[in-house]
Structure 1
Amino acid sequence: MREMHDLGSVLDHVGREGSLDGTVVQGVDLSESEHVVTSVTCRGTTFLGCGLGPGALAHVIATGGIAFPDLDGLPFEPYRPRLYAQGELLHGWDPDTAGSFDERALDSRIHRWSSLTPPGRNPEVLDALARRLHDHAIDDALGEHLDDHPEVVAVMGGHSVLRTDAEYRTVAELGRAMAREGWYVATGGGPGAMEAANLGAWLSPRDDDALDEALALLSVEPDFHRADGYLAAGLDVLRRFDDGADSLAVPTWFYGHEPTNQFATSVAKYFANSIREDGLLAIATRGVVFAPGAAGTLQEVFQDATQNHYEVFGVVSPMVFLDTEFWTRTLPAEPLLRTLAGERAYADLVGCVDGADAAMAFLRYHPPVTRAR
C-alpha cells in the first residue's frame, strides 16, 4: 500500500491517480484541504491521526475508508511517520539553562507518562492503544529506513560501562571499524557499550586521533546516572565533531531512566522492550557482537541464538563474544551456546575474541548464511 506522510504527497497522488483508494495517509493535516478528500474515492484508505473536517470524515467513511483519530494529551506522536532524529528526544533540555534532563527533556516526559501505570498493571485502554500505535509506527518507519541500509551489524553490551573504561574504547574502536567497512551499526541505544559503538560509528569519517579527543571530552562525566553532566559532555563531542556518520539506536522507555545515547543519527525508541530486543536482533543480519554485560545482555545472547537455532528469518548470522575471559569464565555463555548449537549451521558462526581487530576479522571471514525456508 502506498503511504503518504505530507500534504504534497497526497496532492501529487490525487492528481496522478484520481483517487486515494488503497493508500495510507499518516499524520497529515487535511483540515484546510477538505475538497481534496471529498473530490475522490477512499475505498480501502486508512487515515492515521490526520486532521479531517466533519465533511471529509463523513466522505471517507461513506466511500469505504477508515480513520483513526488523533489522541489528545500525549507527550508523543502515536502515528509518527519517521524515526526520531538525533537529539530530538533531548528537546526541551538545555545544559545552559535552568531545569534538569529529568524535568525538561522529551525523553523524560515520555518516560514519566509511561510510568503512570504501575509495574505489573495493564495500562488504561486508550493508553495501551497509544503505546501500540506508536510502536507499530516505529516498526513501520524502521522498515522503510532499513531499505537504504541492507547490512546491519549490532553491538550489545552492558549499560554500566563507564566512558573512562578500557572496554568503552574497545567497543568504540569496533563501531568505527564496522562503519568504515560499510556496515550499518545498530545498538540498543543506551549508555555504556551501546553508546561507545554509536560514538565509534559517528567518528568513522575522522582520523583515528578524533577518538582520543572525544574520550577526553567525555571523561568529564563518565557515569550516565549524573545525566546533566553526562549529556553536556556528549554535546561537547558533537559540537567538536559535527559531521559524523550515520548509525542506529533502538532503545526503550522500559529502561527510561537511561538517557538515549546521543551519537546515533536515527533512533527507533519503543515502549515494549520485548518487541525492541527481538526486533533489533532480527535486523542485524550481518552479525551481532556481544560485549560484556549482565542479565539484559545475556538475555539478548539467547534471543539471538534462538533466531539462529530455528533459522527464524531464513538468515543465520554470526555471533561474536568480545572478551574471552568474561564470556568463557566470568559469565560462561559461550561454552553453553556451543553445546546448544551442536551440529547446526550457526555453530561455525560463533566466535570468542579479544579486541576490535579480532572481532572485525571474525565478522569478515564468517559472513551470514542465507537458508532456504
Structure 2
Amino acid sequence: MTPEPTPHSLGSSHLVEIDSVAHLSEVLDARSDLHDVVVQGLDLTPFASALTQRHLGGLVLIGCTIPQNLHAVLLDAGAVVFPALHDKPFATCRHSLYSVDDLYGGFDPDDPGTYAQTFDARVYRHWVDTGRSTGADIVETLARRLHDHSMTDALAEFAQGRRIAAVMGGHGLHRTTEQFAAVARISRALSRRGITMASGGGPGAMEATHLGAYLAPMPDEALSEALGLLAVAPYFDPADLWLAAAFRVRHQLASAATGPEVHSIAIPTWLYGHEPPNAFASHVAKYFANSVREDGLVTIATHGIVFTPGSAGTVQEVFQDATQNHYETVGEPSPMVFLGRRFWTRDVPVIDVLRAVGAGRRWLDLIVITDDEQEAIEAIADHSRDAT
C-alpha cells in the first residue's frame, strides 16, 4: 500500500544528495522516510518496489529514469520530479563534472578531423543551431539552465575543502611565448604546495594554468618537453591541430609522473565554443550561460587570483573579483596578483581605478603588481597558508 502524502518543505540544509546506485541502496536500507532526499540522474527501475514501500513526501528526483507505474505513485505521495529532457545532445541533469575524456571521447590526434565528432563539438553545434545565447526557445533554455545548475552543484562539491586559486588571462597567448611558460611554472609551483588551480578552461593563459598543474607531479624538465610538443600548434585556430598537440603531450608524458595526479578545475563555456577547452584539466565544469560561469570562476578562487595580460574578459574578471573583495561577499578578501607591471599600470591601468574605488579598504593591501614569478607565487601561497 502506498503511504499517505505528508506535508513537507524543500530547502533544508540537511538534504541528502544521492548520485550513485550504491548510495541509493544504502539510504533505502537505512530509512523509511525519504523526506529531504535528492536523487540525481539514476535509473530507478530496479528500485521501484522498494520506493513504493517508503514515505515519499519531500523526495526530490532530478533527471532520473522513472518507470511509468512508479511515476504516478511518486506524484501522489508528494515527491517532486524534475524530468530529464532526452532529446538534447547533453544531459540536462548531470551529477558530476566533465573530464577531458568526456568532452573529447573519440578524438584521434593522428586524425585531427575527428574533433568534429566529439561531445564538445557536437554540443557547440547544437548551441549554434538552436539560437546561441539569445534566440533559443523556452524548452532549450530550460534544458541549458538545468544542465548549468547541475554543473554548479557538482562544482560546489568539488570545491569543498580545497584551497583554490585561479589564473585569469587572454586566450590569445601563444604556446611559444615566455609568458605562457611563466604561467605554467607559477601554476606548477602552487599546485605542488597543495593549491588547486582554476581557470576559464580555454586556450592561452588558461591552458598554461592547467598544463602547469598537470605537470606538477613530474620532474621539472617535463615542462620543456611539453612546450616543445605544443609548439607545432602555437595558437588554437585551427582547433583540431591545437588539440592534437595537447593529446600528444598527454600520451608522451603519461608515465612521467613521480607522484599522484594533481587536480585542477577548468570552467569554460559554449558561448565561446570556437575556443575548445584545453586538455590538461583534471575536472571541467562547462557552462552554457557565461554569466554564471564567470561569477562561479571568480567565486571559487577564495585563495587568490593571478591576473595576466588579457583583453576585455580579463578586465571584467578583475572588477568582479574586486567587487567580491570590497563587499566581502564570499568571505575574507583574497590576493589580486597582477603579473606584468607595465601592462597593468600603463597599457590597461586598472590599478588606478582599483585604488580609487578601494580607498580605505583592507583589500587594497592584498594587491600585488609584479614582473617576478616567485613574488606572484609567494603572494598566493603565503595568504593561502595564513588562511588555513
Work out whether 1:40 is the aligned partner of 2:64: no
Q: 2:334 touches 2:363 (CA, 8 Å); kept in 1?
A: yes
1:353 maps to 370
* Structure 1 CA distance for aligned equivalents of residues 204 and 157 of structure 2: 28
Q: Distance in 2 between matches of 1:56 and 1:14?
A: 16
Instruction: Give secondary structure in 2 for the equivalent of 1:153.
Output: strand
Q: Residues 268-325 of structure 1, C-alpha deviation per residue, up to 9 Å, x if partnerless? A: 1111111111111111110000000001001110111111111112221110000101
Paired residues of 1:152 and 1:186 also in contact (CA < 8 A): yes
Contact 1:85 1:266 in 2 (8 A): yes
Cα displacement (A) at 1:238: 0.7
Query: How far does residue 80 in structure 1 lie from its aligned partner after superposition?
Result: 0.5
Partner of 1:228: 240
CA contact (8 A) 1:155 1:186 kept: yes
- 1:250 corresponds to which residue? 267
In the alignment, structure 1 residue 321 sits paired with structure 2 residue 338: yes
- TM alignment of 1:130-145, pairs within 5 A: 130-145=143-158
8 Å Cα contact 2:107-2:114 kept in structure 1: yes
Counterpart of 1:76 in structure 2 is: 90
Structure 1 alignment gaps of length 5 or more:
none
Residue among 194, 201, 204 paired with 1:189: 201
Match of 2:99 among 62, 85, 96: 85
Measure, in 1, the Cα distance between the counterparts of 2:164 and 2:113.
37
**Is 2:169 the partner of 1:169?**
no
Residue 299 in structure 1 maps to residue 311 in structure 2: no
Indicate how the Cα distance of structure 1 residues 26 and 365 shifts in structure 2: closer, same or farther if over 3 A, else same: closer
- TM-score with structure 1 length normalisation? 0.95
- Residue 185 of structure 1 aligns to a residue whose secondary structure is strand
Name the aligned partner's letter for residue 240 of structure 2.
D
Name the residue aligned to 2:225: 213
Once structures 1 and 2 are overlaid, which stretch shifts more, 191-200 or 358-367? 358-367
**1:16-165 map, 5 Å:** 16-97=30-111, 99-101=113-115, 103-118=116-131, 121-149=134-162, 151-165=163-177
Alpha carbons 2:304, 2:335 under 8 Å: kept: yes
Q: 1:119 to 1:136 in 2, by over 3 A?
A: closer
Deviation at residue 211 of structure 1 after TM alignment:
0.5
1:334 counterpart SS class: helix
Structure 2 contact 196–264 (Cα < 8 Å) conserved: yes
Shift in CA distance, 57/369, structure 1 to aligned 2, threshold 3 Å: same
Residue deviations 1:75-103 (CA, integer Å, cap 9, x gap): 111110000013321123223347342x2
1:32–1:253: structure 2 CA closer, same or farther, 3 Å change rule?
A: same
1: CA distance, partners of 2:385 / 2:220: 29
Please tell me the residue identity of whatever aligns with 1:230.
Answer: W
1:204 match: 216
- Residue pair 2:109, 2:245 contacting (<8 A) in 1 also: no
Where 1:309 maps in the other structure, the secondary structure is helix
- For the 8 Å contact 2:303–2:383, the answer to whether it is kept is no
Q: Match of 2:368, SS? A: strand
What is the Cα deviation at residue 367 of structure 1? 5.2
Number of aligned residue pairs: give it.
368
Q: CA deviation at 1:343?
A: 1.0
Question: Structure 2: where are the runs of 5+ without partners?
Answer: 1-14
Determine the structure 1 residue equivalent to 2:290.
273
Q: Which amino acid aligns with 1:115?
A: V
Separation in 1, partners of 2:50, 2:148? 30
Work out whether residues 47 and 68 of structure 1, in 8 Å CA contact, stay in contact via their aligned partners in 2: yes
Shift of 1:366: 4.4
Range with greater deviation from structure 2 (165-174 or 103-112): 103-112
* SS at structure 2 position matched to 1:132: helix
Within 1, Cα distance between the matches of 2:87 and 2:265? 29
Deviations 1:140-196 (A, max 9, x none): 1111111241x1000000000000011100100000011011111001100000100
Corresponding letter in the other structure for 1:127: E
**Structure 1 counterpart of 2:103, which letter?**
L
Q: What is the DSSP-based 3-state SS (H/G/I as helix, E as strand, rest coil) of the residue aligned with 1:321?
A: strand
Task: Sort the Cα spacing of 1:330 and 1:85 in 2 relative to 1 into closer, same or farther, 3 A.
Answer: same
1:239 to 235, 251, 257: 251
> How many angstroms apart in 2 are the aligned matches of 1:325 and 1:206?
33
Partners of 1:171 and 1:193 within 8 A in 2: yes
For the 8 Å contact 2:181–2:208, the answer to whether it is kept is yes
Superposed displacement of residue 365, structure 1 = 4.2
Question: For the Cα contact (< 8 Å) 2:132–2:271, is it kept in 1?
Answer: no
Residue aligned with 1:190, SS: coil
Separation (CA, whole Å) in 2 of partners of 1:61 and 1:369:
50
